Amino acid sequence: MSQRTLIDASMGRIKADLVITDVQPIDVISREILEGGIAVKEGVICRIGDVSDLIGNKTKVIKGQGRYAAPAFIESHIHVESTMLTLTEFAKAVIPHGTGTAIIDPHEIANVTGIRGLEIFMEEARDLPLHILIEVPSCVPAASPELETAGAKLDAFTIDRLLQDPMVIGLGEVMNIPAVLNNDEDIHLKIQFARSQGKVVEGHAPGLKGKKLNAYIAAGIMSDHESETAEEAVDRLRFGMTVMAREGSIVRNMIDILLPLYKEGRDLRRATICSDDLSPVELADVGHLDRSLRRAIDAGIDPLVAIQLVTANPASFFKLPRVGHLAPGNIGDIVLIDDLKKINVDLVILRGNVVAKDGRLTVKIAKYGYPPDMRSTIRFGGIPTVLNYMIPADDGDHKVRVIIAHEGSLITGSKIFTLNASDGYVHPDPERDILTIAVTERYMKGGHIGVGFIQGFGLKEGAIASSIAHDSHNIISVATSPEDALMAVSTVSQTMGGIAAVSGRKNLASLPLPIAGVITDEPVEKVAKQLQAVRAAAHSLGCTLEHPFLTMSFMALPVIPALKITDKGMVDAKEMKIVSAIVK
């Protein structure tokens, strides 16, 4: 739309396309509630206030009935692949909950398929009513080839080219902290390329403090979503970082971070709420950012402050001048809410068009056709056997390293236990919750299978497996026996990816994820139902974790301490080196 047309509409010389009457617009900058109406012309807000003279014969009129109008919500950091959905199905799921913009870091699809997957995501995103902006993943792979086998690699010069696309808003979370602090040339080139183009650089700094935090920020990294306490958040805010309080499905520290800061009266303009990793079950059952807002408000945060955290604040950080604030000249992305404490989204308007009402889409969104090469990404270098999931040893007792998993945290512990070996291999001990964990390489790049031990899952029989294993997404399994491990891995590979729970020779339940082994183009309701069935199957095997598959997926991420596992073996994530499962 031309500026003249916008001004003519603002002045009342031409009529608006859409008018909302009797509404209470929320000014998210000053945190005030206004009165009047909102008028939109060609997808852009042309007036806020008295809009009665802008109603013509062709104007769509929406009666606000005293409801509140807020800017459509902005997701400031999410890996859409965590929902197990394609971008299209993700858009269908979140739009009715008031989300108008999503900043995504697609490092799962990128770690599997590289630039090919990123370009397909960008193509799919262009035709969606949801405004999707992409951060180029900074760590593909997340760790060095000595530590794991990855599906792809994005070097600094490839990232520089991708950064030039208008849809790309910045560099995704920089997870390889040792590379930053040790002046690795490749990671610093990536940061430099993003900053030179005026784009953001997102961070990932769990537990970082003191001189290491100073150096990490000095490198040019601008945000962090890994704070677990208010004290950590304050450290980052003081040094100019934007803190993204995470309210995902496995890690929820939004209240722990924001509530103390709010009660202390601290300035929260450099804070946002993000999802990071979000289960399709939670998305289908309780929503997206609207559910995070309800939790923040229930905890005692003022609704206008909470709404600011998902509108004006992310818009400011990402330099999005035309969204996140209801103002003339801004995009007509508007949500109507009947109760500021309950955040029930009644109506969603994106670019001046009604796209959802009463929790349901009102527009059709065409299915995107993923090409065949994106559906055939699991290829074993050799056929795994039971022997591959055994740790050979002389008969007798042996001291072994054991990963200690904690629900709700990506950080693991590390302990030494004694296990018995007989028949030439060390046996897991389900009675003490010491199970076998294995990562099977899936890219036909050597056929490595790393095997170790883990505690925290509680399985008494059978096994679970998944092709979602951050970030290289080899197939990860937790099992009570080598036979069950093989069965679980085979079940996942037969559907070209997914998750499964097995016992003996029986597949108890599975969820196929045939697109890159991490997502499916099925709707969120079906995916949620299948995921619940697989979780129930895992629980029937004795698993004590609420989110066993999400927790298991992070056991293969070697850049987060303390002890992890990859296809190359167990990894001391503090020393960044492979260590033997058996203590020599």
Q: Are residues 263 and 402 in the same domain?
A: no
How do residues 142-185 score in pLDDT, each as one tens digit? 888 899 999 999 999 999 999 999 999 999 999 888 899 999 99
Tell me, yes or no, whether 262 lies in a domain: yes
Contact between 100 and 323 (Cβ < 8 Å) = yes
Q: Are residues 315 and 387 in the same domain?
A: no
Return the structure tokens found at 214.
């100073």
Q: Are residues 381 and 309 in the same domain?
A: no
| Count: domains in the chain | 2
Q: Are residues 386 and 284 in the same domain?
A: no
Q: Are residues 305 and 390 in the same domain?
A: no
Tell me, yes or no, whether 154 lies in a domain: yes
How do residues 439-460 score in pLDDT, each as one tens digit? 999 999 999 999 999 999 999 9
Tell me, yes or no, whether 55 lies in a domain: no
Q: Are residues 304 and 415 in the same domain?
A: no
Q: Are residues 391 and 534 in the same domain?
A: yes
Tell me, yes or no, whether 546 lies in a domain: yes
Nearest to 552 by CA among 426, 449, 454: 454
Q: Are residues 211 and 287 in the same domain?
A: yes
Contact between 437 and 416 (Cβ < 8 Å) = no
Tell me, yes or no, whether 458 lies in a domain: yes
Tell me, yes or no, whether 346 lies in a domain: no
Q: Are residues 527 and 384 in the same domain?
A: yes
Domain that holds residue 495: 374-579
- pLDDT higher than threshold 80 for residue 1: no
Q: Which of 319, 337, 353 is the last residue of a domain?
A: 319
The end-to-end CA distance of the chain, in Å, is: 71
Tell me, yes or no, whether 313 lies in a domain: yes
pLDDT of 381 reads: 84
User: Residue 462 CA to chain centroid, in angstroms?
Assistant: 29
Total residues belonging to the chain: 584
Return the structure tokens found at 231.
């004290």
Residues 6+ apart with CB under 8 A from 512: 495, 496, 497, 498, 520
Q: Are residues 315 and 433 in the same domain?
A: no
Q: Which of 301, 319, 337 is the last residue of a domain?
A: 319
Determine how many CB atoms are found less than 10 A away from the CB of residue 170: 26
Look up the CATH number of the domain holding residue 139: 3.20.20.140
Q: Which of 303, 319, 335 is the last residue of a domain?
A: 319
Q: Are residues 140 and 288 in the same domain?
A: yes
Average pLDDT over residues 120-125: 97
Tell me, yes or no, whether 268 lies in a domain: yes
Q: Give dist(CA 253, CA 63) in Å, integer.
A: 38
Q: Are residues 153 and 299 in the same domain?
A: yes
Q: What percent of the chain has pLDDT over 70?
A: 100
Contact between 13 and 54 (Cβ < 8 Å) = no
Residues 6+ apart with CB under 8 A from 262: 268, 300, 301, 302, 305
Contact between 359 and 336 (Cβ < 8 Å) = no
